[in-house]
Chain A
């Protein structure tokens, strides 16, 4: 201890008590309950058996889970692959100032205001071949469209629905990034003789990198946890072609009341999202810096 005579007062700990209680009840305790379930076999409220990592081992071997996980990863990357370029294009196409920009902003953000289950319902009707515009149009073009019967059609409809719902978010973020670029950059590029593509490649894209990174993380996490829209639209079918991870989990936990495996899977799910975000974030960080350091080809 130091030789100063400053009195030691531990009362300050009480000040963080409210925060600790909040966090405990909102995050720590629920998580620990899940952990608790994941290592026990609960036969009835009075009878429970400690099973160790048995549920984890079982769930890892579950073929259905492998299918759902694979579908989920494909789906999330498809979402990113479509929404990111489309969002950037949309942001580039939006007017920069005046009443037109305000109007564009409002129109673009409209779909973001619609609740998830309503989005599902809208597309359910939209895709019907008897009264839905898209379904009827596709039928008219000679495509026997059925999102309830054809797995490919169902998967594509769910993807299209997410693109329709969430591309505006990417566009808004990109638009914000674009508006923060000072005019001098465009003027300098014009004087340097840069083509439109060069301006995009060397001015706009690097300046949008920060907001696009946020867009990627948000869209990845959200699409990885997607539940309501496919549940309303297809109910996970036909078969299990649009059963994604969260729906798989709900089936286990609520449908079959397999709390142990469901809890074990929840933890794995959580870790997968955490790991994926970590990898994506670091990869994007590296892409940015590598471009800067690696390009010695003048």
Chain B
């Protein structure tokens, strides 16, 4: 087990000139020993590259990787003592389930009795004890992926276990089960787990700390609550949440924030740099208020969707559509109604140049 520190950048091409040449822009971060982390971002954002750099399958073109302060930048996965689970199941066809699970241990010359014991424990955790002597090739995709997961978890002294979207091939109902299993294993084994995914539900339910990435940049590292309450970048606000954060462009002037023709007064104690800003409001915090309330704007309802547990309301304000998640009482609203929604409140985040300012 180890604390992993990264201070690096990576480009797959030889001579990177601009930001878009980089798969990973310069970043600096640390993964604490025993933590459960998720790397979250859309396809092509560099999360798999970052994972492969940590495991040692890719050497960063600049910078270094430290494990417990030791420089392992050019060390192989084996020297780093890393385990990694891939998107598609990788199993050794000619071996049985037990032999597959034992393979990483056998290669490290662990005594036979210890291997058998450890394989038994892992099989127990993955509920595969009954299949230990079956050959791996004939199993279903999810059982094969469980073997891959097991091979990742079987080494007790591993520095970290890295998962590269391991549940892509698994049926939805088994996904929940396996994710819960992983979380439970994390509690039992206290291994450092780093989990790459583009599915925010997966990331937020699995990890204590989520690293949100876009276009080769790690834009925010935080707990699921941080990412929800105070996204540090508009991308995070937009990417996390379903639907994502609403953004409303405005200008800061002497009296407050001017949005369209309306000037919203800032509450006491809040001060902002002058100039163009964006207000970020979660649909969950965009509430219906009486007309002329402080911090509220009049909008025209453009769509009402009753989804049973709540109502999704879309409202237009001078060309910008905002979404609000309201209680089912709002179902009586119809398209064309004028409503007042509070856009400037304690949960509102303010962005300048896409970065949070307050």
> Are B94 and A190 in contact (CB-based, < 8 A)?
no
Task: Using A190-B78, A195-B107 as known contacts, say yes or no to A291 and B94 having CB atoms under 8 A apart.
Answer: yes
Partner of B84, one of A191, A203, A293, A297: A191
B88 x A182 contact (CB < 8 A): yes
Give the residues in chain A near B87, CB-CB below 8 Å: 184
Contact yes or no, A193 B86, CB < 8 A = no
A295 on the interface (CB 8 Å rule)?
yes
Q: Contact check: which of A193, A195, A292 meets B94 at CB < 8 Å?
A: A292
A185 within 8 A of B: yes
- Interface positions, chain A 278-298, Cβ under 8 Å from B, are 288-289, 291-293, 295-298
Q: State whether A296 touches B133 (Cβ < 8 A).
A: yes
- CB neighbours (8 Å) of A292 from chain B are 93-96, 135-138
Q: Are B96 and A296 in contact (CB under 8 A)?
A: yes
Closest Cβ of chain B to A191, distance in Å, is 5
Q: Is B241 an interface residue (CB 8 A)?
A: no
A130 within 8 A of B: no
Determine if B88 and A184 form an interchain contact, defined as CB atoms under 8 angstroms apart: yes
Inter-chain CA distance A187–B87, complex, in Å, is 12
| B243 interface residue (CB < 8 Å to A) | no
B107–A193 CB distance below 8 A: yes
B107-137, CB under 8 A of A: which get 1 and which 0? 1100000011001000000000000110111
B294 to chain A, nearest CB (A): 57
A182, A190, A202, A206: which contacts B77 (Cβ < 8 A)? A190
Shortest Cβ gap from A123 to chain B (Å): 39
Nearest to B99 among chain A residues (CB) is A298
* Interface: B30 (CB within 8 A): no
State whether A295 and B151 are in contact (beta carbons under 8 Å apart), knowing that A184-B86, A194-B103 are contacts in the complex. Answer: no
Q: Does B301 make an interface contact (CB < 8 A)?
A: no
The answer to whether A187 and B107 touch (CB under 8 A), given A293-B135, A298-B116, is: no
Interface residue tally for chain B (C-beta within 8 Å): 36
Q: Which of A187, A198, A203 meets B57, CB within 8 Å?
A: A187
CB distance from B89 to the nearest CB of A (A): 9
Alpha-carbon distance A182/B164, docked complex (angstroms):
15
Please name the residue on chain B nearest to A182 by beta carbon: B88
Q: Check: B55 CB closer than 8 A to any chain A CB.
A: yes
Please name all residues of chain A whose beta carbon is closer than 8 Å to the beta carbon of B115 when the two chains form the complex: 298
Q: In the docked arrangement, what's the CA distance between A105 and B82, Å?
A: 37
Q: Is the CB of A191 within 8 A of B55?
A: yes
Contacts of A198 in B (CB 8 A): 107
Contacts of A191 in B (CB 8 A): 55, 57, 77-78, 82-84, 104
Smallest CB separation, B183 vs chain A (Å): 22
A295 & B77 in contact (Cβ 8 Å cutoff)? no
Is A46 part of the binding interface, using a Cβ–Cβ cutoff of 8 Å?
no
Further contacts, 11 of them, CB under 8 A, given A188-B151, A298-B101: A182-B90, A187-B77, A187-B84, A193-B104, A198-B107, A202-B94, A207-B93, A293-B135, A296-B98, A298-B102, A298-B115
In order of increasing CB-CB distance, the 4 nearest A-B pairs are: A292-B135, A193-B107, A298-B98, A188-B90
B residues sitting closer than 8 Å to A (CB atoms) are 55, 57, 76-78, 82-84, 86-88, 90, 92-96, 98-99, 101-104, 107-108, 115-116, 119, 132-133, 135-138, 148, 151
26 A-B pairs in the complex with CB atoms less than 8 angstroms apart: A184-B87, A184-B88, A187-B77, A188-B86, A188-B151, A190-B77, A190-B78, A191-B57, A191-B77, A191-B82, A192-B103, A192-B107, A193-B104, A193-B108, A194-B107, A198-B107, A202-B103, A206-B92, A206-B94, A292-B95, A292-B135, A292-B137, A292-B138, A295-B94, A295-B99, A295-B135
